[in-house]
Amino acid sequence: MKLDKLTNQLEGRQKGIETLFGAPAPAEAPPATSKRQPVPTSKRSTWKMRAWYVQPETASRLRAYVNRQQENGSSIDASGVVNEAIAMWLDQQGS
């Protein structure tokens, strides 16, 4: 690995920036801040995010079902379908 060569190139670029602009280059950029305000009715603000594994066929069937419903004008999404299915299953189990 030619780490020394890369280090020298980086130092040279930083010196060039200092020469052009008269100030040292910042060590790292400040963290990006989001200017978007959270939407209070968004699922991201009220629902719990979880991840489970499902069979590929199940995922394909769910995606196809949601796409068909959306094409027919429904405002359905996959998380709503999964939420309803889990709630119904838990009701059947008596939980």
For 13-70, write each residue's pLDDT tens digit: 888 888 878 776 566 777 777 788 878 888 888 899 999 999 999 999 999 999 999 9
Buried b (16+ CB within 10 A) or exposed e, 44-80: eeeeeeeeeeeeeeeeeeeeeebeeeeeeeeebeeee
Q: Please tell me which residue, 87 or 25, carries the higher pLDDT value.
A: 87
The per-residue pLDDT for 25 is 57
Note the pTM of the prediction, 2 decimals. Answer: 0.56
Report yes or no: 76 and 62 within 8 Å, Cβ to Cβ.
no
Give mean pLDDT, residues 76-90.
Answer: 95
Q: Cα torsion for 13, 15, 17, 19, to the nearest 10°?
A: -140
